[in-house]
Structure 1
Amino acid sequence: MTKIALAGLGYWGPNLARVLNQSQTCDFVAACDVNRISLEKITTQYPFLKGYRDFNELISSDVDAVVIATPISTHYDLAKRALLAGKHVFVEKPLAHRADLARELVELAADRQKTLFTGHTFIYSPPVIKIKELIDSGEIGDVHYISLSRVNLGLYQKDVDVVWDLAVHDISILLYWLGEMPVNGASFGRACVQHDKRDVAFLWLEFPSGVVASNEISWLSPQKMRRTCVVGSKRMIVYDDMDLAEKVKIYDSGVDFCQPQTFGEFQLTYRIGDMHAPYLGNAEPLLKEIEHFVHCFTTGERSITSGEFGAQVVEVLELVDRSHLNTPQPAIAGIRMGF
């Protein structure tokens, strides 16, 4: 059985450790963290693990693959070292903090004939997979637009702003659903608490197919919300990740326009039909993701969230970063509001 090690035991690392231990497809043999207390805690919980505080020692061992769940700023360096050491590599999202570095990792993995996998967990969740099926099958018709909201009170991150922490999820979902890269993008955000770090942002993306998407993200909201609306020409979908009973709802609703022969024939028909919630199952996305990683590097199959996919997500993050407006401009010069 293939041997896997985990590097990074902070906020997300223990969750990865749990599913690595649970999986029947690999042998979870080692963990690494510079923090002695974190390392002792995980090796106490899983006594069979060999603990490392030096990453170079870890990748010099006989492990087949390394899962990297360290701060984003370290992803590139650690992934590069692991690939050069001949390991298959799973990197938590985002793949790197710059698109050129992400591309370098993709090329290195190809050169070394190793699997480079990006941890975009939502791509493995039943609701997201179901919506992909509904879009691809044409059941909802042509997609007009998608709106996504992902807000909560925290958690503030040390090394990235809210775009790189939260929008990375929604961007990956959009790329997965639509199968194309955006041609235009814009963002507006504010740093409300820390002057140098955006904690609220609004993103807009336009895709070659004509689909437009808006994305609201925030660390500064009184309520946790993860809600997405996909509007098609035939049907509409609401995906509420906070709804434990019915995460995906499909509405037979829409507006039809009858092309008039004369002005008097102008007519819009509003359709409000039934709603149904499809059965989604209860598979755990994180476990599915880890097992897909193992499957890919043992069979050579290309991953859904490959290094290439991860690099594309980083490219979109950079696109919206470049378009970021700190100061909104009035649509009409000199416009004033009077009451």
Structure 2
Amino acid sequence: MEENKKKKIRIGLLGCGRVAGNHILAVNRCSSVEITAVAGGRHAKELGERLGVPVLQGGELCGSGLVDGVCILTPPQYHYDYAMEAIQAGKHVLVEKPVSFSVNEILEMDSAAEKKGVVCMPGHSYLYLPELMRMKEVQKDGRLGSPGYLYMSETYYMNHELSAKYTGPETDVLCHQLYLSLAFLGIPKRISAFRTEIQEQEGQMGGPQVAVMLEYENGAIVQILVCWAMEDHTSDPWTFKIKMLGTKGSMHFSRRDFVENLGMGYDQSLYQEMFDREMRWFAEECIGKGNQPLSTMKDAAWVCRLHGMILEAVKEKKIVEVHKD
């Protein structure tokens, strides 16, 4: 047993906020990894005691002999510095989304990891769900014919206390839909976008929402809605939904296709499953076998570029042309 334990990939969690809980569950469900240290944030001490592992400083964890890999779960502005420290120390790195708001930083992380011979993988987690892997494969195989229309939504009410901890749906959510659009259809040629704020009134919901449209060379159109202003409890909810239409077929995915009852509420089981499968791919496919992640750091750089163009389209109220060179 002790010999098998030593063979596990030792993971350090850098950032002990809300998303750390998802990564802890993912590690617990992956037999090839274990958490051996934590760092970062006011909950680090409590988390370390609960897991029975050392609590280190951020930079200390990046170079620690206690870990083989680091999950960087801090706010995005700290991703680059910690990732570079960990990479230079020869550690494998999983960087939560958004990876960075600087294309140069993302490409530097990628280049440094390649030189060091370690994995640097963006936390583009939805692509690891088998339903979305299948959607990508079917599209690439041509079984849907020529792609014509892709719709993606993520909508729910985010109360003011919680939303104050984030930047906004266009920054904290939209990267999911952007990396999925890249995986399914590649780089668009033209972008338009709108951002509005629905004013909350007494007893009602409200908040920000963003709508994006991408146009492709072959005529395909992508529409994206990310919204923190409203809930959708209809029979076909837009909580997290994808619909792809082609000239020969179509496909659909909803995160609420699988829910588990929790008494008075329910749990969207596919949300945690994407963390589980992402962790397994990071450990077993990338670190263990040397395979590429399903979404690379170069993809993350394009997500960053497209995000910047969307902000430009919103601010300038114009259509933005995408230049691939």
TM-score strictly above 0.5: yes
Give the whole-Å Cα distance in 2 for the aligned partners of 1:229 and 1:20.
31
How big is the shift at 1:71?
0.8
Q: Does 1:58 align with 2:61?
A: yes
- The residue that corresponds to 1:184 in the other structure is 190
The amino acid that maps onto 1:56 is G
Give the whole-Å Cα distance in 2 for the aligned partners of 1:290 and 1:85.
21
- Superposed, 1:89-104 pairs within 5 Å as 89-104=93-108
How big is the shift at 1:326?
6.2
Q: Does 1:164 align with 2:171?
A: yes
- The residue that corresponds to 2:227 in the other structure is 218
Tell me the SS of whatever aligns to 2:84. Answer: helix
Match of 1:237 among 233, 248, 251: 251
CA contact (8 A) 1:3 1:64 kept: yes
How big is the shift at 1:216?
0.9
Structure 1, unmatched stretches of 5+, are 246-280, 330-339
How big is the shift at 1:77?
1.7
Sequence identity of aligned pairs in percent? 22
The amino acid that maps onto 1:57 is E
Give the whole-Å Cα distance in 1 for the aligned partners of 2:271 and 2:198.
38
Tell me the SS of whatever aligns to 2:18. Answer: coil
- The residue that corresponds to 2:113 in the other structure is 109
Give the whole-Å Cα distance in 1 for the aligned partners of 2:212 and 2:87.
34
Give the whole-Å Cα distance in 2 for the aligned partners of 1:86 and 1:152.
40
Structure 1 runs of 4+ with >6 Å offset: none
Tell me the SS of whatever aligns to 2:17. Answer: coil
- The residue that corresponds to 2:209 in the other structure is 200
Q: Does 1:39 align with 2:44?
A: yes
- Superposed, 1:262-301 pairs within 5 Å as 284-295=273-284, 296-301=286-291
Give the whole-Å Cα distance in 1 for the aligned partners of 2:126 and 2:30.
19
CA contact (8 A) 1:99 1:311 kept: yes
CA contact (8 A) 2:146 2:246 kept: yes
Structure 2, unmatched stretches of 5+, are 1-6, 201-206, 233-237, 260-269, 320-325
How big is the shift at 1:228?
1.9
- Superposed, 1:13-52 pairs within 5 Å as 13-35=20-42, 38-47=43-52, 49-52=53-56
How big is the shift at 1:125?
0.9
TM-score (norm 2): 0.80
CA contact (8 A) 1:151 1:216 kept: yes
Query: What are the superposed Cα offsets for residues 127-162 of structure 1, whole Å, 9 maximum, x if unpaired?
Result: 211211321232222111111111110152535221
Measured on the aligned residues, the alpha-carbon RMSD in Å equals 2.5
Q: How many residues align?
A: 286
Structure 1 window deviating more from structure 2 (225-234 vs 236-245): it is: 236-245
The amino acid that maps onto 2:279 is I
How big is the shift at 1:163?
1.1
- The residue that corresponds to 2:16 in the other structure is 9
Give the whole-Å Cα distance in 1 for the aligned partners of 2:108 and 2:70.
18
Give the whole-Å Cα distance in 2 for the aligned partners of 1:113 and 1:22.
27
Query: What are the superposed Cα offsets for residues 74-128 of structure 1, whole Å, 9 maximum, x if unpaired?
Result: 1112112211222111001111122222122112222222211011110011221
Give the whole-Å Cα distance in 1 for the aligned partners of 2:129 and 2:174.
17
Specify whether residues 51 and 94 from structure 1 end up closer, same or farther in structure 2 by C-alpha distance, changes over 3 A only: same
Tell me the SS of whatever aligns to 1:106. Answer: helix
Greater share of residues in helix: 2
How big is the shift at 1:282?
11
The amino acid that maps onto 1:55 is G
Give the whole-Å Cα distance in 2 for the aligned partners of 1:235 and 1:51.
52
How big is the shift at 1:192?
4.6
Tell me the SS of whatever aligns to 1:153. Answer: coil
Give the whole-Å Cα distance in 2 for the aligned partners of 1:81 and 1:69.
15
